[in-house]
Structure 1
Amino acid sequence: MNSHPFLSAQIAPLAPADAVVTLSGVRRRFNDTVALDGISLSVRKGEILGIIGRSGAGKSTLIRCLNGLERPDSGEITIEGKRIDGLPERQLQPLRRRIGMIFQHFNLLSAKTVEANVALPLKIEGLPKAERMARARDLLELVGLSDKAKAYPAQLSGGQKQRVGIARALAARPALLLSDEATSALDPETTRSILALLKDINRKLGLTIILITHEMDVVRSIADRVAVIDAGRIVETGTVQSVFANPQAPITQRLLEGSRPRLPEHVAARLNPAGEAIILGVDLSGPYGQSRFFTDLADALSAGASLIQGGVEHIQDESVGRFFLSLPARDANLVERVRSTLQAGGAHVEVLGHV
């Protein structure tokens, strides 16, 4: 039996009735390389799911299986209640129209105007010109580019090109939008504007979105849930706030290292099984981080605890915090009182060691 420490994350519950996407035991290998190793996942209607992992983790293969460009070796993929993993190409084509794609490098046709690029999927579908151009105009208004309809891609900035890519992906009124590293070629300010646009489209259209990314800030900005992929497996899933507040898988912890307060190196280097002070790591999210936590923290400091480092940030509408406390090891009652008080408020408290 496989002893992967987070294998339980692979065993997904039955897909909810409103699931747009369901994957069950999906496997894909290329010769001796395992790209996907039993992926099970479901995505609800109207949800934004961020799938994050390092290069080579399996993200690209996963998205190619979702849009039918790769066929899994085993397992099932269901889009809107219809299995796509075993369909012949002829039957797969109409289902692909229900899936919009936006890409890292935009993939626009340089010889076509902006409105012609947006209307292209509708032309392939066989819609009359008047209908597809009307749809293109509506979509360009949605993404804030009405004045660029007659421009060519070479005349646009990177952010504008991605807005065109988003409009084109929405042309056929998809049920699912796949974003493949769509902001990684953009500067931070443009990235924020594109993510805000995707969130706005999600709200206005109720569109289900899957974001494939290696950037935690992308997930933090707009996703409802996050799934962490490593070596072809989903090793952790949860709401964005819960995963950022208390990451479980080692790879998630490493991915978040630059986004969360860390124990200072000079303290971390001295951690031992025994010592004069006990070091606690405190992770919290939700209302507790906006109110009573600081009263409890002040009480702990006045009783003899020391604050090493920490802070609270907002991820979307929820507070997420991480703190490190030092308490005298000789005062077992104080240590237990502080730990039980913080845990009663909803914080996760961990003894990191002694110094």
Structure 2
Amino acid sequence: MNQHVTAELADPVNIAAAGQEDVVRLVDLKRRFGATPALDGVSLTVRKGEILGIIGRSGAGKSTLIRCLNGLERPDSGDVFIEGREIGRLAERELQPLRRRIGMIFQHFNLLSAKTVEDNVALPLKIEGRPKAERLARAAELLDLVGLSEKAKAYPASLSGGQKQRVGIARALAARPALLLSDEATSALDPETTRSILALLKDINRQLGLTILLITHEMEVIRSIADRVAVIDAGRIVEQGPVWSVFAEPRSEITRSLLGGIRPQLPAEIAGRLVPGAGAELILRIDVAGEAARGPLLSDLAVAVPGPFRLVHGGIDHVQQQPVGTLFLAVAGDDERHLAEVIAFLKAREARVEVLGHVAGSV
């Protein structure tokens, strides 16, 4: 990929306004299919120049949401604003120019097999009626951007999955959109290719000032690329905020479940021995972030509250340059005063403490 993206590839107006206004604003969006609410009062914004990740399980409402954003689905009620214009009541012919302000990349690429790579990239411009020379020049710029200049005359069948997705990204950028929608764009790719595609999207966001809204069911994707995250469940946004903050202190059960694969969890061997009653040791889960995760928390605890405790699992990670940690401590289970002092000390350091249960014997 060309690391030095030229200014001509970007929309100068978008870059100048980045971060100053909303590209997308949804207000109390509702959509039902029969008795089933696909969207049940969704409100959120996507700011210029940011990457917002929307995550949820299958059936949570993600696909309906993205179809409402690009005008393919009409909400039953609520408002969809794109660059300040409410689109819900626009006629189809009025939607066409607005759709050109929205680029779309798909899970399964959606390339035309009978057209060359450069023709696939140039297709949105052909639909607009742009001259052939302009279309091909733009396609060449974008293929350089995504690192596929040498594949311009190739056909999709000869490309790898990652290369096909790079072509899809180039095509989505052809008309210089204000918003890029990514619908599970890495779900069909292997982990290494996924990392390269996410790095490309982050680079495009940073250098072009392009606003990106990505739909995914993978928290690792959110962690790798998003500035903010919104968690959707049963058609409702149940939690949203900066990625590091949501990772540090997930408030909903669905968010904690989605984070289960990438945040430290109590080892199954210990979790299977937890009991609610008395036991030799008590297991505490401690979540820390920011300044609380930077300092020598356990060393300070040992000095401030003398008494037996042990770290049995956990660690500190970094999300958006912020330290976020989960630690599991075993504390003597028969000394209530010592336990209370340990918990009080940790909470005073802005740690979130959860008592998981006792275990018989040592862990």
**Residue 85 (structure 2) aligned to one of 82, 85, 89:** 82
1:327 and 2:331 are equivalent in the alignment: yes
AA of the residue aligned to 1:165: G
Which of 300, 307, 310 pairs up with 1:306? 310
> Which amino acid in the other structure matches residue 91 of structure 2?
P
Instruction: Choose the corresponding residue for 1:317, options 316, 321, 324.
Output: 321
Deviation at 1:72, TM superposition (A): 0.4
Secondary structure, aligned partner of 1:258: coil
Q: Distance in 2 between matches of 1:191 and 1:302?
A: 47
Residue deviations 1:154-200, cap 9 Å, x none?
11111001000000001111111000000000111000000000000
What residue number does 1:20 align with?
Answer: 23
> Unaligned regions of 5+ residues in structure 1, if any?
1-15
Out of 206, 214, 218, the position equivalent to 1:215 is 218
Instruction: Report how far residue 216 of structure 1 moved.
Output: 1.1
Q: Deviations over 1:321-343 (max 9, x none)?
A: 11111222443443333323333
Give the aligned partner of residue 158 of structure 1. 161
On the 8 A contact 1:179/1:212 being kept in 2, the answer is: yes
Task: Tell me the amino acid that sits aligned with residue 87 of structure 1.
Answer: L
Q: Distance in 1 between matches of 2:303 and 2:166?
A: 51
Q: Deviation digits for residues 35-88 of structure 1, max 9, x if unmatched?
A: 111111111111111111111111111111111100000001111100011111
1:348 to 323, 344, 352: 352
Equivalent residue runs for 1:187-266 within 5 Å = 187-266=190-269
Structure 2 residue aligned with 1:337, among 335, 341, 350? 341
DSSP-derived class of the 1:29 partner = strand
Q: Structure 1 residue 308: deviation in Å?
A: 2.2
CA-CA distance at 1:128 after TM superposition: 1.5
SS at match of 2:108: coil
Which letter maps to 2:90? L
The reply to whether residue 279 of structure 1 matches residue 283 of structure 2 is yes
SS state at 1:244 partner: helix
Q: 2:54 touches 2:232 (CA, 8 Å); kept in 1? A: yes
Tell me if structure 2 keeps the 8 A contact 1:84–1:92.
yes
Alignment partner of 2:71 out of 60, 68, 71: 68
| Count of residues in Structure 1 that have an aligned counterpart in Structure 2 | 340
Q: Over aligned residue pairs, what C-alpha RMSD do you find?
A: 1.9
* Sequence identity percentage: 69
- Pairing partner for 2:296 from 288, 292, 311: 292
The C-alpha deviation readout for 1:94-118, integer Å capped at 9, x for no partner, is: 1111110000010111111111111
Residue 219 of structure 1 deviates from its aligned partner by: 0.7
CA distance in 2, matches of 1:300, 1:325: 16
CA contact (8 A) 2:71 2:95 kept: yes
Structure 1 partner of 2:108:
105
Q: Is the 8 A contact 1:117 1:168 kept in 2?
A: yes
Q: 1:280 to 1:90 in 2, by over 3 A?
A: same
Q: State the distance in 1 between where 2:213 and 2:313 align.
A: 35
Q: Contact 1:301–1:307 (CA<8 Å) still a contact in 2?
A: no
In structure 2, relative to structure 1, the CA distance for the partners of 1:303 and 1:104 (3 Å cut) is same
